[in-house]
């Protein structure tokens, strides 16, 4: 995308798509931790990150997280907003930095995998800090739930990585045409 307006328009459309997805698709993947719901909002964020770069991916993450936190996930209050920004933001930033200059299949796959791994590891630490506050329990209770929380994060990352790559590959030609005409 050559023009800043084109980049902003694409980011806005993909942000709107992410918001529609988060409002309409929410699935409990691990019943033990029902407060963690999968939504596919990260997929358009990751695709935008590959195409537009890390700043757009992180910016979209913040926008989607705030809207989600004030609407469908309002019960998680500020903690849900922060956790979503930290989780998706860390993955998007990592993905964006890896694919910033070269967007080969290998780079995109590497960026998605490393970004997902970074998200999973960082969420282990962030869950130790925020989940006791969110659940109003001590750290021992959270440590007992941690295998299920990590399983959720792994499944979320796996689903988002696979779908993001497949959709990026399917739409790559269209985005190249748009890029050449802008």
CATH number of the domain at 80, please: 1.10.1760.20
Which tokens hold the place of 75?
A: 């019960």
Helices in 25-104 by DSSP H: which ranges?
A: 42-52, 54-70, 77-99
Judge whether 27 lies within some domain: no
pTM: 0.92
Q: Is 80 exceeded by the pLDDT of residue 179?
A: no
Is residue 112 in some structural domain?
yes
Name which of 15-19, 48-52, 173-177 the model is least confident about.
Answer: 173-177
Determine the angle formed by the axes of helices 105-135 and 139-181, rounding to 10 degrees: 140
Domain count, the chain: 1
Residue 100 covered by a domain: yes
Mean of per-residue pLDDT scores for the chain? 92
């Amino acid at each position: 995308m050559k023009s800043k307006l084109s980049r902003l328009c694409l980011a806005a459309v993909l942000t709107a798509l992410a918001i529609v997805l988060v409002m309409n698709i929410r699935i409990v993947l691990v019943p033990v931790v029902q407060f963690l719901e999968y939504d596919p909002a990260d997929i358009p964020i990751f695709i935008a990150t590959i195409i537009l770069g890390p700043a757009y991916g992180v910016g979209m993450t913040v926008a989607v997280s705030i809207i989600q936190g004030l609407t469908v996930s309002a019960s998680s209050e500020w903690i849900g907003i922060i956790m979503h920004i930290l989780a998706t933001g860390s993955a998007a930033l990592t993905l964006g930095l890896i694919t910033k200059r070269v967007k080969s299949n290998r780079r995109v796959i590497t960026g998605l995998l490393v970004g997902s791994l970074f998200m999973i590891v960082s969420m282990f630490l962030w869950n130790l800090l925020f989940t006791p506050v969110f659940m109003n329990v001590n750290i021992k209770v959270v440590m007992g739930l941690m295998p299920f929380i990590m399983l959720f994060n792994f499944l979320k990352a796996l689903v988002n990585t696979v779908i993001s790559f497949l959709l990026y590959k399917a739409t790559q030609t269209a985005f190249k045409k748009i890029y050449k005409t802008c």
